[in-house]
Amino acid sequence: MNAIDLFAGCGGLSKGFMDAGFEIIVGVDNDQAALNTFAKNHNGAIALNADLSKQETFDEIVSIAGDKSIDVIIAGPPCQGFSLTGPRNFDDPRNRLYLAVLEMVKQYQPKGFVIENVPGMATMYNGQVKEEVLRRFRDMGYNIECKILCAADYGVPQVRKRLVYMGVRADIGTPVFPDPLLSPDKYITCREALDDLPSRERELGQEFDEYSSEPRTDYQRMMRGTCIVLSNHVATAHKQFVKDTIALVPEGGNWKDLPAGVGESRNFHEAWTRYDGNKPSRTIDTGHRNHFHYKYNRVPTIRENARLQSFPDDFVFTGTKTQQNRQVGNAVPPLLGYYLGKALLDIISGED
């Protein structure tokens, strides 16, 4: 089965689909730094920097596909326009990027598709935007369902929730979401995900490519696979007053646990949050200043956040550190993508 990834970013969702058995033909985005990472990690898939609101981009995708069929479309389009325009103005130009996905499905009639978005889209305007998306795909001849999924239920060491639409062409079958694999008391923890990685306490700002220990958990073994080179694991060299402030935050705590007068320049919800080693992480964001390692007095490295997102260690991020953080934070966890891809592949293949 062939798939294309729209609004691909660095390719977390398509990495999961690739691991589930799909061939990724092309990933489309307008962030060149993310596309450089996509190209490095997707077995020859084309990284296309293009505007998805233009028909020329659709034509270029078909040209790249050549004689390969476009069996599945996966996408993570932005939905910010809907918050400004409302459901009655669904076709407003500000929603053009989301509408581009509907148009792509309409033109090329893939066997199935998966679209992910923020959970808030499910309740926007009392659910009217979500219902309009469902209605339009059903009018195109697709059976479609949507559901809010938590990545931690599927073995990702992170409590990250996403709204996922799954559509299957009506002549093929009906969407079925993968069942959760883990209950909350069995979630993979930060410690289970990370404690085989070197501390980097003495190599701040330096790149070293060696592991310091054997994997200690099944999750760590899965993330390493056959990888023998440790990449993207560079610790930030904080100023001493920052390290001193972080040291005051207990494991699992945040800015509310700091003494009066300390760290008050950053006192919003996520500020000065230290992960709890015995729990999954909170949602990985696109920055790197607010969350701290459960044990060390520093922000997580790119590799540590990538582990918490379920990117395997052989997935190498490129670009500046800021760009890499944005790529990791914006991505769909590949492990969640894997189970979605596997479920969709089974439906299209007619397997139970």
DSSP per-residue letters across 217-256:
SHHHHHHHTT-----S-------HHHHHHHHTSPTT--GG
Residue 249 gets the label, from left (phi > 0), alpha (psi -120 to 50) or beta, of beta
Q: Which residues pair with 319 in a beta bridge?
A: none
Point out the catalytic residue in the list 10, 79, 146, 150.
79
Retrieve residue 134's tokens. 């469902």
| Residue whose C-alpha is closest to residue 154's, from 114, 194, 177, 187 | 187
Q: Strand, coil or helix: what is 26?
A: strand
For residue 190, indicate whether it is catalytic. no
∠ CA 279-252-213, rounded to 5°: 60
**Enclosing H/E stretch for 61:** helix 55-65
| Residue whose C-alpha is closest to residue 320's, from 232, 242, 239, 235 | 232
Retrieve residue 345's tokens. 């592949």
Tell me which DSSP letter residue 212 carries: S
Rounded Cα distance, 245 and 298, in Å: 10
∠ CA 68-168-101, rounded to 5°: 70
Helices 96-108 and 128-139, axial angle in degrees (round to 10): 20
Tell me which DSSP letter residue 290 carries: S
Find the length of the chain.
352
Q: Which residues pair with 169 in a beta bridge?
A: 142
Q: Which residues pair with 2 in a beta bridge?
A: 23
Active site residues: 79
